[in-house]
Amino acid sequence: MNRPARDAAPLLSVENLTVRYQLGRGLTGRARTLTAVRDVGFTIGGGRTLGLVGESGSGKSSIGRAVLRLAPVTGGRIVFDGQDTAAFGRRTPLSFHRDVQVVFQDPMSSLNPRQTIATTIAQAVTRHRRLSAAERDREVLGALDRVGLSGYHRDRYPHELSGGQRQRVAIARALAPRPRLIVCDEPVSALDVSTQSQVVNLLMELQRELGVSYLFIAHDLEIVRHISDEIGVLHHGRLVESGPADQVYRHPSDPYTKALLASTLVANPVRQAARTARRRASAGTGIAPGGGL
């Protein structure tokens, strides 16, 4: 997309981030730890998108959870709008929850199956703003319209919607508090190809309309390149390559990035044959990812 930054200062700065999980004690009685993220740094400007891409276990979701204050920050720091989030202490302020929202991979598990769509969106609105019943209803209908759903969807339950419609509801819920940053954690990986494209295009349209920033986490470099201004490539918890989206996509410098790109399926049979050949050539290096990215 390569748009000029809208804000001079970054909205989000991740500096030398390390995330380490405690796994308990093993058979020897020693405490075990898993370092999921190692010394990672990046910034996201206002109205911009950073795409984090890597195979399963690369640490990308742990970074998203750390930004959301759902994973431990063992080292480094996360600065949102000029404030170190570590200063919040144990209790995250409501203003941060308003400004930083999330869209998860599986909306069926993140939406309350016992609540109508209207109730789900209304709760996200009224948690942060005092509204009359009429104002709340207008907000719900406006949110549904913004993501391409109709007013009659308001009385439906999640199981009555398709996967793509449920993800649109999840996006509407994330937008309801009027956030400045949304962490999109594999938001299209559970959808079919045509619906993936629709949802990605919707996110891009909403960004142009609202100026919201995205941390977009995915395993598919083709999708990440389409939506992102900048791309960061993660491998074993480390950021092995980063830069403008087109540069990383067209001229990757790290062998792992090249392997990721070669493993991406494309519709053009000539390009796909070339990628398959490159993937086979890199298989001997031990870096070519498998099919379950």
DSSP assignment string, 28-82: TS-EEEEEEEEEEEEEE-TT-EEEEE--TTSSHHHHHHHHTT-S---EEEEEETT
CA–chain centroid gap for 86, Å, is 21
CA 23/CA 90 separation, integer angstroms? 21
- In this prediction, residue 58 carries a pLDDT of 93
Nearest to residue 116, comparing CAs of 74, 162, 159?
Answer: 159
The dihedrals phi and psi of 54, each to the nearest 5 degrees, come to 170, 165
Looking at residue 267, its pLDDT comes to 52
Q: Is the Cα dihedral 258, 259, 264, 267 positive or negative?
A: positive
Residue 117: what pLDDT?
A: 96
Distance CA 56, CA 54 (A): 7
User: Bridge-partner residues for 148, per DSSP?
Assistant: none
Banded model confidence at residue 262, pLDDT cuts 50, 70, 90: confident
| Cα 273 to Cα 289: distance, rounded to the nearest angstrom | 17
Which of the listed CATH numbers 3.30.460.10, 3.30.2130.30, 3.40.50.300, 3.30.70.260 matches domain 12-111+180-246?
A: 3.40.50.300
218: left (phi over 0), alpha (psi -120 to 50) or beta: beta
pLDDT higher than 80, residue 21 = yes
How many Å apart are CA 30 and CA 154, to the nearest integer? 53
| Residue that wins the pLDDT comparison between 22 and 243 | 243
Residue 6 reports pLDDT greater than 50? no
Q: What percent of the chain has pLDDT over 90?
A: 71
Residue 37: pLDDT above 60?
A: yes
- State the pLDDT at residue 97: 94
| Arithmetic mean of pLDDT over the chain | 88
pLDDT at 289 over 50: no
On the question of pLDDT at 26 being above 70, the answer is no
Mean pLDDT of 117-145: 92
Stronger pLDDT, 267 or 241, i.e. the higher one: 241
Which pLDDT band, with edges at 50, 70 and 90, does 292 fall under? very low
Tell me the pLDDT band of 272, cut-offs 50, 70 and 90: low
Digit-coded pLDDT (tens) for 76-111: 999 999 999 999 988 999 999 999 999 999 888 889
Work out the number of other CB atoms within 10 angstroms of the CB of residue 5: 15
> Domains of the chain: which residue ranges?
12-111+180-246, 254-287
Whether pLDDT at 133 is above 60:
yes
24 phi, psi to nearest 5 deg: 90, -165
205: which 2 tokens? 């349209």
What pLDDT is stored for residue 293 in this prediction? 32
Q: Which of 57, 54, 55 is nearest to 21 (CA)?
A: 57
- pLDDT for 140 equals 94
Q: Rounded CA gap, 208 and 3, in Å?
A: 10
Percentage with pLDDT > 70 across the chain = 86
User: Which residues, 6 or more positions from 138, have their beta carbon under 8 angstroms from its beta carbon?
Assistant: none
Query: Is-contact 5 48, C-beta < 8 A?
Result: yes
What secondary structure letter does DSSP report for 228?
Answer: -
pLDDT of the residue at 291: 35
> Where residue 226 falls among pLDDT bands split at 50, 70, 90?
very high
State residue 280's pLDDT score: 54
Using alpha carbons, select from 289, 266, 263 the residue that is nearest to residue 278. 263
Q: Which sign, positive or negative, has the C-alpha torsion 157, 163, 166, 168? A: negative
Q: Which residues, including other chains, have CB under 8 Å from residue 271's CB and lie 6 or more apart?
A: none
Model confidence pLDDT, tens digit, residues 163-187 = 999 999 999 999 999 999 999 999 9
- CB 103 within 8 Å of CB 185: yes
Q: Point out the least confidently predicted range of 50-54, 120-124, 149-153, 262-266.
A: 262-266
The model's pTM is 0.86
Tokens standing for 201?
A: 């295009």
Contact 248, 241 (CB under 8 A): yes
